[in-house]
Amino acid sequence: MIQISSYLYEKGLVPGKSGNISIRYKKDEYERIAVTPSRLSLKSLVEKDIVIVDMDENKIYEDIKTPTSELLMHLKIYKARKDINAIVHTHSPIATGFAFAGEKIERIEGFGPIKDRFIPYVDYYDPGSVELAEAVSKGLEETDVVILKEHGIVSIGGNLDEASLLSEFIEESAKTQFVKKVLMANRL
């Protein structure tokens, strides 16, 4: 988690104190979620900052850190998708710009099969709200990434590397699409 957090920050996908990540694992036959804390830059994450919770939002270890305000979203996704073990939520600038503009991001070849031409949107709900958690978990039932309208991107995977690479790929796809639009507009 620390390595991926630094990677996401260095790539500009989680500027400032934005974004959060989590992984699901089993310990003593119980599912646990390791999640990044609230109000902390992923740039400076260290082991003691990682918060461990159960599937009912209970902290396993009494520590001073509070889990991300998006914890409910992570838990709802894990409950809906038993086949994944990692979630990455970014605020990458280009893809998030598309999210604020309401522009669709095309899926481009290079990261698995393309079932749908565009990455699906989830309507805007307040960050950390039950409504957002429910909408995102529903939006991810049959896809691996969604755009949160006026908010950011959520990608999922079998592991944290897979989910983070997908987030990076979506940002690069948005950049490619933006450059294409600029170049096409200059032809007119």
Catalytic positions, written as ranges? 70
Supply the Cα-derived Rg of the chain in whole angstroms: 16
Q: How many CB atoms lie within 10 A of CB 48?
A: 9
Stretch (H or E) spanning 71:
helix 71-80
Three-class SS state of 162: helix
CA distance 183 to 108: 18
Helices 71-80 and 130-139: crossing angle in degrees, nearest 10, is 30
